[in-house]
Amino acid sequence: MSTLNVDKVDPNTGTALELGTSGDTITVPTGAGLTVTDEVKTNKISPATGTAFALGDSGDTFTVPSGATIVNSGTATGFGGGITAASQWRLTTDFTGTAQPIDANWEEVDAPVGFGILGSSMTESSGIFTFPSTGYWYIQFLICVYDNTGSNVDNAIEASMYTTTDDGTYAKTATAFTNVGTVNDKNSCRSDWIMDITNTSNDKVKFYANSVDSETTVLGNTGLNETSLTFVRLGDT
């Protein structure tokens, strides 16, 4: 094998420089570096067998020009997350008075038409909701209420969210208030929270309906959303 030592190789004027011939193997020895200062065009880059392909080094910036598209035909990971899970739950049956927490008659939305569930679902047990994955999660609690007495007195209710990071010690993290004060009056209110889920075994949430008396009915419906919950995974933790 001969060695050619040069500082630069240029193609003939008006032609392209070709390195090797079809079927040849071009080898960059261990310890050597290949620096490209302008542009490389190829149909495919594959890692060596048993290794992972690293594109650039820490601190490098890669730019997708305007009008260009990156097509992912497999599974892309390590790109900072994104919305990968979203679903809604609803109360299926009315109840009257206080529930601390609301521990029965929850279902994930499954009707009437056009409903959507993205990714893995939340799970619920005795009113305690567990997240399917770590990440930053948006949580919304909407409560709909009804004056079931017609007594024309203010029947106030508080809709509260309680979270824990140790699967035991809960703190009130969001709350909202509404009241129904006339015959057959209906009303609603909403509380919201963004929670950083770092441990799916310890980080959980539950929902309270605190009525000042026993005359306020919390509305539930199995066919549409009245009192309902929304969970959206916003991105990686």
Rg of the chain, C-alpha, whole Å: 30
In a domain, residue 153? The reply is yes
Distance from C-alpha of 5 to C-alpha of 11, rounded to nearest angstrom: 17
User: What is the tens place of the pLDDT at every residue in 183-219?
Assistant: 678 899 999 999 999 999 999 999 999 987 667 889 9
Q: How many domains does the chain have?
A: 1
Structure confidence at residue 228 (pLDDT): 98
In a domain, residue 77? The reply is no
Whether the CB-CB separation of 186 and 148 falls below 8 Å is answered with no
In a domain, residue 91? The reply is yes
| Whether the predicted pLDDT of 74 surpasses 70 | no
Stronger pLDDT, 10 or 225, i.e. the higher one: 225
User: What is the tens place of the pLDDT at every residue in 89-130?
Assistant: 999 999 988 999 999 999 999 989 899 999 999 999 999 999
For 102-111, b/e burial (b = at least 16 CB within 10 A) is beebbebbee
In a domain, residue 42? The reply is no
Confidence of residue 232 (pLDDT cuts 50, 70, 90): very high
In a domain, residue 109? The reply is yes
| Whether the predicted pLDDT of 65 surpasses 80 | no
